Amino acid sequence: MTTSEVVGYVKKAMRISHTSLDDTIAADVDAGALDAFERGVSVFAEADSGIRDDKLVLQLLVLYCQGKEDYNGKGDTYKRDYEALCDSMSMYAGYKADAR
């Protein structure tokens, strides 16, 4: 998936219908993907085709964005949820960054 496709998914999850935050959300998506990768989670598709089209990866990036944007005033909760999901995903062979 491209970053813009993921941005659309994140915006839907956060109930955002305007485009004024698209650049901010795109930066958050990219930062979240890199952060997850650094934590040992494989979020990137093979052959430089962007982010994996995977519901768990998408949920991980939604949580990251919700935490960064303090969605509904619960940013700290979303950050903790993101970190916990990252930790869990990094333990599964299918999501280990070094498994690909």
DSSP per position, 32-65: HHHHHHHTTB--BPGGG--B---HHHHHHHHHHH
Residue 44 or 18, more confident: 18
pLDDT at 99 over 50: no
96 lies in some domain: no
Number of domains in the chain: 1
52 lies in some domain: yes
Structural domain harbouring 17: 3-91
The pLDDT value recorded for residue 6 is 95
The pLDDT value recorded for residue 47 is 64
Task: State the average pLDDT over residues 7-12.
Answer: 96
Overall pTM > 0.85: yes
Tokens 């498994």 label which residue? 99
97 lies in some domain: no
80 lies in some domain: yes
Residues 27-57 pLDDT 10s: 999 999 999 999 999 998 876 678 999 999 9
100 lies in some domain: no
99 lies in some domain: no
